[in-house]
Structure 1
Amino acid sequence: MERLKSHSEFVAVLKRRHKVSRNDIVVHYLVRDDSYTKGVVAPEDRRLGLAVSKSVGHAVTRNTVKRRFRVLAAKYEDHLPVGVDVVVRAKPSAAQASFQSLDGQMAACFASIANRIDGAGGADRAGQGR
């Protein structure tokens, strides 16, 4: 899975306000309209950004949460449609959550995103959902 690197890429996903959440995770998503990524990103790429704030814990704890999120996102990336950007945001409770709990939550979030995009009939694809 490719990574979201710039602040503007994160903001583009977060501004769209499409999200799903569970106990310890919030996943914001955006189906790319390739007009703003011309030539920079392959249309079939899925991109991931992580947002783990200081409210989650100190640096060691935040890095542990980020490592877990990267592993789980890679595990479930095939559930997402192609051309989607996601930002996975950790709630403070993610620091105490077990890996198995986060695993189930990530699977549920990614499946929910896939269902919303497929069920939207292209409304999310065109940026007109909600």
Structure 2
Amino acid sequence: MLPVDARIRRSRDFSSALKRGRRAARGGVVVHWASGPPRREATQSPPRTTPSDAERHDPARAGFVVSKAVGNAVVRNKVKRRLRHAVAEQMPSWPAGTDVIVRATPKAAERDFGELSRDLAEAVARARGGRPRKGRRETDSGGGL
């Protein structure tokens, strides 16, 4: 099971990760990998002048999206449990401050735990690689050939 501080629960955190993250799909999952500067949680108290180590390095977090297209409630919950377990195994290798959204596709309902775990690992590796999406090429602005 994922620790409480390793879960994404707020809608704005999901939106932020989806907007700034790189996307990769494999088999039954689509992963949005959002690494970047440490996030700051909105708190009621002013920030401390000397943050502790825990505050300097936010843990990696994961959020899950399993729509009704995947199946009925029993199937969706089974898929979520499998994905949470797979993420818990892989999360220790993720850099601190990383937000990852894992979206299950309808194909996820047909896959066993080993296949889902492999799909997740491959999608994470692809998203971490930073390859640009199709149609997004860097252009030379120098006006050359």
TM-score range, shorter chain: 0.7 to 0.9
Is residue 22–residue 109 contact of structure 1 (8 Å, CA) maintained in 2?
A: yes
TM-score by length of 2: 0.71
Aligned Cα RMSD in Å?
2.4
Please tell me whether residue 49 in structure 1 is matched to residue 91 in structure 2: no
Structure 2 spans left out of the alignment, 5+ residues = 44-53, 132-137, 139-145
Aligned length: 118
1:11 and 1:17, CA in 2 relative to 1: closer, same or farther beyond 3 A? same
Highest CA radius of gyration, 1 or 2? 2
| 2:115 alignment counterpart | 101
1:96 and 1:32, CA in 2 relative to 1: closer, same or farther beyond 3 A? same
Structure 1 spans left out of the alignment, 5+ residues = 120-129
| 2:80 alignment counterpart | 66
In the TM superposition, residue 39 of structure 1 has moved relative to its aligned partner by: 7.2
| 2:103 alignment counterpart | 89
For the residues of structure 1 that align with 2:25 and 2:94, how far apart are their CA atoms?
15
For the residues of structure 1 that align with 2:92 and 2:123, how far apart are their CA atoms?
13
**Aligned counterpart in structure 2 of residue 37 of structure 1, from 40, 51, 60:** 40
| 2:24 alignment counterpart | 20
For the residues of structure 1 that align with 2:114 and 2:21, how far apart are their CA atoms?
27
In the TM superposition, residue 38 of structure 1 has moved relative to its aligned partner by: 4.6
Percent identity over the alignment? Answer: 34
TM-score by length of 1: 0.79
For the residues of structure 1 that align with 2:82 and 2:124, how far apart are their CA atoms?
15
In the TM superposition, residue 21 of structure 1 has moved relative to its aligned partner by: 1.0
Code of the residue aligned with 2:94 in structure 1: it is L
3-state DSSP class of the match of 2:96?
Answer: coil
In the TM superposition, residue 109 of structure 1 has moved relative to its aligned partner by: 2.1
3-state DSSP class of the match of 2:59?
Answer: coil
